[in-house]
A and B are shown apart, each in its own frame.
Chain A
């Protein structure tokens, strides 16, 4: 016999259902610099890294400077461990993924 004795799928059906339900297309988060009153300010206040009183706020895209951040995650701008740089991988995949889908034109907004 040259086939596997069994192929039990436990996680795969859950992931497939989650993806079809939209979990695979989450809105991207944007990082905003906010002050103690949750007001969006210039990123440079947070970028200094030694500027207490400013926070990174992670939420849905679209907030302009001066607007107020709602519910979301706040990280003190001096907390370096929590402030890992992200997004350093992925730029080449803008036109699609790795597999068969590379030739498709369904990647939407990106």
Chain B
């Protein structure tokens, strides 16, 4: 006789397990590039961002389920992008008018794009719900693609499975773009900001260099602060070589407001004196939190999309929600309101000037000891590529969360 299946456990099989960390793991993960595994706290204490004292297990059925949802999300995002352009929602999303012509143009011409990361809540009802899509400058890449891959093999042996095609798919994507002649210039420039001192941004770019080199591209890393511009010639690197194709781990919403923003907009393209930027500028549509109310407006019945509104448009009786700035990262300046009261706030980093969105609250689910995971589902081009799980003891997933590896079991 089949066992009774409760509604809550019908779909969700993901579990969290405690496990023994590998001997000497700090040196191992540092050699694999995770030199930023310590997170300093404001009080001077440090916590470990990489947490291999536990892991998550998922069944292959639920991986296929979430993968299908991510694929569907990408299709819905394309409709949402069309809608923003048709309805001219740029001002409401805090996107400056001078960037709009290039956003529209690249949305049509489709210059090359590389990757992105969905964040899904995966609570006890087993229905993945989109929290946001980091389409422009997602981080957490190296630990997802490489560090947890090696962890799984070290701990469980060669036969272990994991939802993690990231490395292969990134290499294949670079190769495909290069072979299609979509990466002009002799070399690929990869830009990070040198204001980031833990090494996270640098190593994210370093890892992408690894994947581009594996696709036989000539690569050059540089700080975006060192990027030069010569009138009549366009962007140049430190040696004065033209920068024809640039991957930048630096958000467009910053770029368009900075001194070189005008030059970047004017000299965008694959011709001489121009630069192909990866990610393309139209990703400002997808990485903006304003995409959330747009998705809800277009697909109000979709169970994987949480109700969301531009701030001020939410129902008056909404009691449980999260308010997020249109443009922040890592939970900054976000606030969770439960039963009408603010119960938790993210770190204040002066975001929010452009406005806010309000998203219905969803419980991330307590997977044991108060650990609340968020599923980071990676996309390469427009294909789901893998999973990286970050968990937090708080309701809000911020920069003090932990990366916890996973396996398919």
Contacts and interface: CB of A to CB of B under 8 A. Distances in A.
A8 B250 CA distance: 26
Contact of A3 (B163, B196, B399): B163
Nearest to B42: A105
Interface in B318-346: 329-330, 332, 346
Nearest to B230: A84
Interface in B191-207: 191-204, 206-207
B244 to A, nearest CB: 15
A98 B227 contact: no
Contacts of A93: 193, 195-196, 224, 250, 254
Contacts of A81: 230, 233, 236, 240
A98 B249 contact: yes
Contact of B198 (A3, A10, A13, A101): A101
B250 A89 contact: yes
B197 A16 contact: no
Interface stretch (B99-107, B146-154, B297-305): B146-154
Nearest to B41: A104
Contacts of A87: 225, 259
Interface bracket on B: 35 or more
Contact of A9 (B32, B160, B193, B196): B32
A101 B36 contact: yes
Interface in B50-78: 60, 63
B213 A7 contact: no
B330 A92 contact: no
B165 A103 contact: no
Interface string A78-95: 001111111111111111
B165 A3 contact: yes
A24 B210 contact: no
A12 B32 contact: yes
A12 B198 CA distance: 15
A16 B206 contact: yes
Q: Top 7 closest A-B pairs, CB basis?
A: A97-B196, A84-B228, A88-B260, A99-B139, A92-B254, A90-B225, A88-B259
B103 to A, nearest CB: 18
B17 interface: no
Contact of B210 (A6, A12, A26, A105): A12
A95 B200 CA distance: 14
B245 interface: no
Nearest to B235: A84
Given A81-B230, A92-B258, A16 B139 contact: no
B161 A13 contact: no
B139 A2 contact: no
B382 to A, nearest CB: 18
Interface of B: 30-36, 39-40, 42, 49, 60, 63, 137, 139-140, 142, 145-146, 149-150, 152, 160-168, 191-204, 206-207, 209-210, 213-214, 221, 223-231, 233, 236, 240, 249-251, 254-255, 257-260, 263-264, 329-330, 332, 346-347, 349-350, 386, 398-401, 408
Most buried by A among B36, B149, B221, B249: B36
A86 B263 CA distance: 12
A19 B165 contact: no
A16 B199 contact: yes
Contacts of B398: 103
A4 interface: yes
A36 interface: no
A1 B42 CA distance: 42
A4 B164 contact: yes
Contacts of A95: 195, 349-350
Given A9-B33, A88-B258, A98-B249, A15 B193 contact: no
Contact of A15 (B33, B194, B223, B250): B33
A102 B240 contact: no
Nearest to A90: B225
A99 B200 contact: yes
A108 interface: yes
A97 B195 contact: yes
Contacts of B31: 13, 16-17
A16 B35 contact: yes
A21 B302 CA distance: 50
B200 A100 contact: yes
Given A19-B203, A90-B258, A102 B210 contact: no
A1 B161 contact: yes
A6 B332 CA distance: 36
30 contacts: A2-B162, A2-B165, A3-B160, A3-B164, A9-B146, A10-B210, A12-B146, A16-B30, A19-B202, A19-B203, A20-B35, A84-B236, A86-B226, A88-B258, A90-B258, A92-B254, A97-B197, A97-B198, A97-B249, A98-B193, A98-B201, A99-B200, A99-B329, A100-B49, A100-B139, A100-B399, A103-B398, A104-B40, A107-B197, A108-B197
